Amino acid sequence: MSEATRTHFARVRGAQGLARFSEFVALLGELARCHDYRMLSTVQLQSFEDDAGLARISGIVDYLTEHYAQDFSMADLSVRVGMTESSFSRFFSRATGNSFTDFVNRLRINPACQLLMETDRYITNVCYDVGFNNVANFNRRFLQIKGMTPKEFRRQAEARFGAVA
């Protein structure tokens, strides 16, 4: 967050009533014009013409979100939804804008970040807790998605938010 944005946010917090709302809308306008930002999530569903396709991908994403830490494969899920593996792969990529593997990796890295920030668990344990079964792959995917290693991420979080109690 830039210093100008912090100052503007402080003005929002200090104002009351309609003036507060006005300051908030001005802050939103400032943020909308900002070109220096980082996406918090790259996972997005593409629009669907039919309700059946939307329901199908929503069910798949819900399942993945609930079971991200478990061991599963694209083959498992394709059978679960009654599709061939290649059809499932094309459908999933078209619907989410990500390959199945990339989607699952991103899905698993998010709770890994939470665990790294909120606990003092070993990185190896965090790796297995979120569904990765190989520490080298976890470190590689974490670096690819977050731009730093899990160890660097934890160190940076501790510097920003303080050490875990």
For 99-131, how does the pLDDT look when each residue is reduced to its tens digit (9 = 90+)?
Answer: 999 999 999 999 999 999 999 999 999 999 999
CATH class of 51-102: mainly alpha
pLDDT means per 10 residues, the chain with 165 residues, are 78 88 87 73 55 88 94 94 95 93 96 95 97 97 96 91 65
pTM over 0.85: no
pLDDT in tens, 63-72: 999 999 999 9
Please name the CATH architecture into which domain 107-161 falls. Answer: Orthogonal Bundle (1.10)
pLDDT recorded at residue 8: 80
Structure tokens at 116: 């790294």
Let me know: does 24 contact 12? Beta carbons within 8 Å: yes
